[in-house]
Amino acid sequence: MTDRIVLAYSGGLDTSVAIGWIGEATGAEVIAVAVDVGQGGESLETIRQRALGCGAVEAYVADAREEFADEYCVPTLKANGLYQGHYPLVSAISRPVIVKHLVKAAREFGATTVAHGCTGKGNDQVRFEVGIQTLGPDLKCIAPVRDLALTRDKAIAFAEEKGLPIETTAKNPYSIDQNVWGRAVETGYLEDIWNGPTKDIYDYTATPEFPPAADEVIISFERGVPVAVDGVKLSALAVIQELNRRAGAQGVGRIDVVEDRLVGIKSREIYEAPGAMALITAHKHLEDITIEREQARFKATVGQRWSELVYDGQWFSPLKRSLDTFIEDTQQYVTGDIRMTLHGGAAVVTGRRSGTSLYDFNLATYDTGDTFDQSQAKGFIELWGMSSKVASSRDQRVAGQ
């Protein structure tokens, strides 16, 4: 029986050419796998037909938008996932759902190898291959660009020679990856980190310099999951899409950052994540009133480590799974509403309400009738500062000898 290789297929030039390129280099049959995580563009059926037209023996396509929102975006939201405090893990969280379908297709079609279109310089090669090794330890991995010398100029020449049903236009100066959680742009003009991003880079967000009238929105959560916008019940996917539209119209969620890649390179990235950033902001503010102080402090540390693991391709790792359990436990009382004003590139929280809030008006107020016993504060301060006081006395005594 001829060997079969499953290929992560986007429908673009490089992965279309990779179908025939892999076949010629390995003698194997290629099964193209296309997974819709909300990246927009062509229909799955169009992509499927193109894969077959480029020589794939089978084409597996999956509408994974709801799955991506529920099982990958929502956990990221619960963790307030931001790598290095900036990046909402747009590409990092899409790779494991694609990996899941690649391994599923490999089992379904009897493939022994999984291929992806990543280079040897970025993070995605790690995310794909570590994920594949974890879910399918018996499967092998290859990367045509990295392992089989498939360069852009060779891809164009191959496509023209074979008459493949794809356009072979000059390369866009930017590398772009997008899904429902956001959009990532890099390379080209942006590699000079002194250059400011030009307007043509953006697609999910309007320019914040000339915004429309301010947009007030109420986002409702149940146990950390966004469930409604302005009182209208929605799926997690629909909430993200609605916030992408409304926050994007106000220029919310533009991020320009130099981040540390896993391979040791610093990389300049432009991100657009209007829905993600508005939701993370709202979620954080709801946590502020529903999570106990020490638990909240520790969760911030857990969220940072969680984000690093996901960025580094460890979505399926034991540690990430254990951190998921802790984060899920913290969401028990994260239920309520957040009112936000979206305007001029900012998402500003203006109101909070929750039936499980720890905020006690009678303790917090400075007006007559407050229930806080201020007489207890003096003794508390004495005890709280005792160890520092004793140490300082020792230091002064020794210094004076």
Determine if residue 275 is labeled as part of a ligand binding site.
no
Determine if residue 60 is labeled as part of a ligand binding site.
no
Task: State the Cα–Cα distance between residues 177 and 184, nearest whole angstrom.
Answer: 5
| Helix (DSSP H) and strand (DSSP E) numbers for the chain | 15, 14
How do strand 175-179 and strand 182-186 relate by DSSP bridges?
Answer: antiparallel
Q: Which residue(s) pair with 347 in the sheet?
A: 342
Determine if residue 12 is labeled as part of a ligand binding site.
yes
Determine if residue 9 is labeled as part of a ligand binding site.
yes
Task: State the Cα–Cα distance between residues 332 and 39, nearest whole angstrom.
Answer: 32
User: DSSP letter string over 157-197?
Assistant: HHHHHHT-SS--PPPPSSEEEEETTEEEEESGGGGSTTSPP
Determine if residue 352 is labeled as part of a ligand binding site.
no
324 in active site: no
Determine if residue 354 is labeled as part of a ligand binding site.
no
Dihedral sign, Cα of residue 166, residue 18, residue 311, residue 286: positive
Q: Look at phi and psi of residue 384 and say left if phi exceeds 0, alpha if psi is from -120 to 50, else beta.
A: alpha
Determine if residue 341 is labeled as part of a ligand binding site.
no
Task: State the Cα–Cα distance between residues 111 and 28, nearest whole angstrom.
Answer: 9
Determine if residue 120 is labeled as part of a ligand binding site.
no
Catalytic residue among 48, 50, 94, 124: 124
Determine if residue 119 is labeled as part of a ligand binding site.
yes
Catalytic residue among 14, 48, 50, 91: 14
Give the N- to C-terminal CA distance of the chain in Å, as an integer: 88
Buried b (16+ CB within 10 A) or exposed e, 12-34: bbbbbbbbbbbbeebebbbbbbb
Catalytic residue among 63, 70, 147, 175: 175
Determine if residue 72 is labeled as part of a ligand binding site.
no
Determine if residue 87 is labeled as part of a ligand binding site.
yes
Catalytic residue among 50, 65, 95, 183: 95
Determine if residue 8 is labeled as part of a ligand binding site.
yes
14 in active site: yes
Determine if residue 10 is labeled as part of a ligand binding site.
yes
Determine if residue 16 is labeled as part of a ligand binding site.
yes
Determine if residue 290 is labeled as part of a ligand binding site.
no
Determine if residue 143 is labeled as part of a ligand binding site.
no
DSSP 55: T
Determine if residue 195 is labeled as part of a ligand binding site.
no
Taken as a whole, the chain contains a residue count of: 401
CB of 181 within 8 A of CB of 94? Answer: yes
Determine if residue 271 is labeled as part of a ligand binding site.
yes
339 in active site: no
CB of 38 within 8 A of CB of 64? Answer: no
Alpha carbon of residue 142 to chain centroid: 25
The 3-class SS string of 230-289 reads CCEECCHHHHHHHHHHHHHHCCCCEEEEEEECCCCCEEEEEEECHHHHHHHHHHHHHHHH
Say if residue 221 is exposed, middle or buried (CB neighbours under 10 Å; 0-12, 13-18, 19+): buried
- Binding annotation for ATP: 8-16, 117
- Binding annotation for L-citrulline: 87, 123, 127, 175, 259, 271
Catalytic residue ranges: 14, 95, 124, 175
- Binding annotation: 8-16, 87, 117, 119, 123-124, 127, 175, 259, 271
- Binding annotation for L-aspartate: 119, 123-124
